Amino acid sequence: MNRVFSGVQPSGNLHLGNYLGAIRNFVRLQEEYECIYCVVDLHAITMWQDPAELRSNTRTVTAAFLAAGIDPKAQIIFNQSQVPAHAELAWIFHCVARLGWLSRMTQFKEKAGKKRENASVGLYVYPDLMAADILLYKATHVPVGEDQKQHLELCRDIAQKFNHDFGVAYFPLVEPLILGEATRVMSLRDGTRKMSKSDPSDYSRINLTDDATAIARKIRRAKTDPEPLPGSPEGLRGRPEADNLIGIYAALADTSKEEACRRFDGAQFSTFKEALAELTVSTLGRIGAEMRRLLADPGYVDSVLRDGRARASAIAEANLGEIHGIVGLLRP
Ligand code: TYM
């Protein structure tokens, strides 16, 4: 059986990268798959979070899932901490994964930076928990942005080693689904850096909750270069900002970079940015407004999470029981 699982951290501002790299694909995949979408609060606390903000961000990510069009009746939406089996399976995976594997994770290196000795242990073993999220449900397909690719390779390594060590064919080898023309949306201030929730400059990203004026202003101020736009993607080489903006346009217009370049062949950035701002506002404006409407009634958002928790727990508990059996954990 094919099953999709993916997660989004409730830390900081959800942005256009989260939408184009992940959430928009979550919506599309529900046509074809049974899907489980998780607000990964246990992942968020690998970096310190203000407790009140964490609660609020958990509801905001849930609202974004709903506003983008995920159907909470047909699919499962829940927050990770409410299904304790995630943390339990992560422990088993800590005993499967090797120190060397985790030491190679570029996200840890980036996030820990120079103060590695001071990083939380949780940040280091984060990919084990991510593998547990996915494999607890025996999910087969995982839609993510480009930056999560290495973590999914580790998830496959864990599944493979577990199956091998215990002589079973229990866990599937998951397939990453890295879809569309904007799998790695870059900062609007620096085309060589990823658009990120934690960038101190709000001008570096478009937040899902930005209004039309803010979106237009940020796009107008986005860094560019002096050349007009090229007629084909080859002309974007060595022009990271132009490449990023064309990628965003193509993704939002649901077309290819080739087609986007054809449309704006020889245009100045000022003309292109106007079209891009209009397109961005027409997509995100609707989602932001729906998020605000949903968040005005947290009772509904909470009820979605409660219902999701019950349905996720049923699958998780059954699978964790089987995993205990495989590992040899006695249920007396
Ligand atoms: P997180 O919360 O950082 O990001 C959520 C999703 O958004 C994608 N993304 C981007 N895509 C394109 N351009 C960008 N600039 C950009 N920034 C973020 C991410 O790739 C991700 O798909 N470890 C995960 C959360 C997680 C998870 C999981 C994902 C925990 N357990 C199990 C899949 C399956 C993370 O930190 O995502």
- Site to substitute for ligand 1 among 38, 86, 126, 144, most atoms within 8 A of C-beta: 144
Residue 30 lies in a domain: yes
**Count: domains in the chain:** 2
DSSP 144: -
What pLDDT score was predicted for residue 149? 97
Confidence at residue 12, expressed as pLDDT on a 0 to 100 scale: 83
CA 274 – ligand 1 centroid, Å: 29
CATH number at residue 250: 1.10.240.10
Does 132 share its domain with 213? no
Best residue among 3, 4, 8 to mutate for probing ligand 1's pocket (most ligand atoms within 8 Å of CB) is 8
The domain containing residue 30 runs over which residues?
Answer: 3-177+298-327
Report yes or no on 195 lying in a domain. no
Q: What distance in angstroms lies between residue 18's CA and the mean position of ligand 1's atoms?
A: 7
Residues 234 and 139 in one domain: no
Assess whether 237 and 303 both reside in one domain.
no
Residue 162's pLDDT is 98
CB pairs under 8 A, 24+ apart, for 161-167? 161/96, 161/97, 162/93, 162/96, 165/96, 166/326, 166/327
113 plus 231 within the same structural domain? no
Torsion of CA 197, 198, 202, 207, to 10 degrees: 10
Q: Are residues 123 and 206 in the same domain?
A: no
330 token code pair: 């006695």
Decide: helix, strand or coil at residue 31. coil
Regarding whether 239 and 133 lie in a shared domain, the answer is: no
Model pTM score:
0.97
Q: State whether 140 and 289 are in the same domain.
A: no
With a Cβ cut-off of 6 Å, ligand 1 is lined by 5-9, 17-18, 21-22, 40, 43, 130, 133-134, 142, 144-145, 147-148, 151, 183-185, 194-195
Q: Which atom of ligand 1 is nearest to the CA of 183?
A: 12
* pLDDT string in tens for the chain (332-residue length): 799 999 999 998 899 999 999 999 999 999 999 999 999 999 999 999 999 999 999 999 999 999 999 999 999 999 999 999 999 999 999 999 999 999 999 999 999 998 899 999 999 999 999 999 999 999 999 999 999 999 999 999 999 999 999 999 999 999 999 999 999 999 999 999 999 998 999 999 999 999 999 999 999 999 999 999 999 999 999 999 999 999 999 999 999 999 999 999 999 999 999 999 999 999 999 999 999 999 999 999 999 999 999 999 999 999 999 999 999 999 99
79 lies in the same domain as 136: yes
Residue 37: which CATH number? 3.40.50.620
What whole-number distance in Å separates Cα of residue 315 and Cα of residue 241?
Answer: 44
Point out which residues pair with 142 in neighbouring strands: 176
pLDDT in the model for residue 1: 78
- Do 283 and 304 have their domain in common? no
Tell whether 206 and 87 lie within a shared domain. no
Q: Which atom of ligand 1 is nearest to the CA of 195?
A: 15
Q: Mutation test of ligand 1: which of 14, 25, 40 has the most ligand atoms closer than 8 Å to its C-beta?
A: 40
Cα of 42 from ligand 1 centre, angstroms: 14
